[in-house]
Structure formats: structure tokens, C-alpha cells
Amino acid sequence: MAGMEGFVPMPHTGKDVPGEFGDKSLYQVVRYKGIFDINELYRVINDWLVSKGYQVHESKYKSIALQTGGKEKTFDWNAHRKMTEAIMVWIDLHFQFQDIMEVEVVKNGKTVKLQKGLIMVRIQHRWEMDFSERMGRSKLGKTIATFMMQIMWKKKIDSLWEDKLRFKCYELMNVIKETLDFMTKGNEHYDVW
């Protein structure tokens, strides 16, 4: 599929949430092993999402101390933004940190505490139709919502909104790569939207 670089197919559960649409089987993954500043990574991602108009919520957090002295952390962020009065845009981030250990590094002549370990960040986007449930209360409202989604907004969703949101996820992936100082930072889609 053209333009799908960096996306990984996710096994589909078959349970579709009413009112949600978009291809839930595609997501982006950033993996990193090395030394990093976990607080800087949190701050940069949160600042990027807030600057784009998203409200960020942490839905899950789990931290485990390992016998080796390191830590294992897993948490999810859900960021949402109203696209129209009937459509809500979501960017879901899943963070997984493994074998995290504190290390002291000399940076610019100063000793700084950083972390060393493995990182995996998964970025997934989705759409929610009638998030305020204005149309879903009656049979007529559901019929109107289905008509709008499948006929009136179909081309706009597929050709404009879906692409724009996917390229914004590319941009977020690039921000993460720059923060972690990847050699492969940047992408060919950075200035599309």
C-alpha cells in the first residue's frame, strides 16, 4: 500500500465499537535501545499533542521493579480533539519501557541522571462519529448518522481527514525520533500537511 511506510498491521479483534471508524489495523511503532531522558520524552510528546489542540489523558499506568535492579513501565495516553460537532479525532499512544536503569552521564560538562533501557512507542489513530450521542438516541438519528458517514462524508474522510491524521502521526513519530536522537530522523512526509 503506497504511503503506508512505518505502519504495522495489528491483529483485528473483530469487535468494532459503534460510531468509530478508520483502519484500526494500522499503527506506527518506534523502538529504541540506549540512553535517554524519560522526562524529556514525556514533555516533548505532551507538548506536541497540546500544541496541536489535543487533550491528553493517561488511561493506564503500570510500573514493576525487577530483581535485576531495573524497572519495567507500561502506560497508555489517549489524546482527542474535536474535528467537527459530530466527529472526534483520537491519537492513542502505548508506551512500553523495559530494563530501565538510572545512569549518570557527563553532558556539557555536567553530570546528569538519565535512563538506559529499551523503549517501544506505538502510535495509533482513530475517528469517533457522534461522540456526543446527539444522533444515536433514535432510529432516525442513527439512520442520518449512517447516511452522513457512508455517503456525505465518505470522500472527505478517505481523501482528506484520514490522510491528514496519518501524516500528523508521522510528524509525531519524527518528534519522538528527534528526541531520542535517532540517526534516521525526518521523513519524506514531514511537510505534507
SS (H, E, C) the chain: CCCCCCEEECCCCCCCCCCEECCCCEEEEEEEEEEECHHHHHHHHHHHHHHCCCEEEEEEEEEEECCCCCEEEEEEEEEEEECCCCEEEEEEEEEEEEEEEEEEEEECCEEEEEEEEEEEEEEEEEEEECCCCCCCCCHHHHHHHHHHHHHHCHHHHHHHHHHHHHHHHHHHHHHHHHHCCCCCCCCCCCCCC
* Residues recorded for the chain: 193
In terms of phi and psi (left: phi > 0; alpha: psi -120 to 50; beta: otherwise), the region of 3 is left
Alpha-carbon torsion 15, 19, 21, 26, what sign? negative
The reply to whether the predicted model has a pTM over 0.85 is no
Which pLDDT belongs to residue 193?
54
Grid cell at residue 86? 459530530
Which pLDDT belongs to residue 132?
62
Residue 123: CB atoms within 10 A of its CB come to 22
Which pLDDT belongs to residue 140?
81
Which pLDDT belongs to residue 17?
37
Nearest CA among 125, 122, 133, 127 for reference residue 60:
122
Tens of pLDDT, residue by residue, the chain (193 residues)? 333 344 343 333 333 334 555 555 677 888 999 999 999 999 999 999 999 999 999 999 999 888 888 889 999 999 999 887 777 889 999 999 999 998 998 888 889 899 999 999 999 988 777 666 666 667 887 787 778 777 777 777 777 777 888 888 888 988 999 888 876 666 666 566 5
- Distances, alpha carbon 134 to alpha carbons 31, 36, 93, 129, in Å: 41, 45, 28, 10
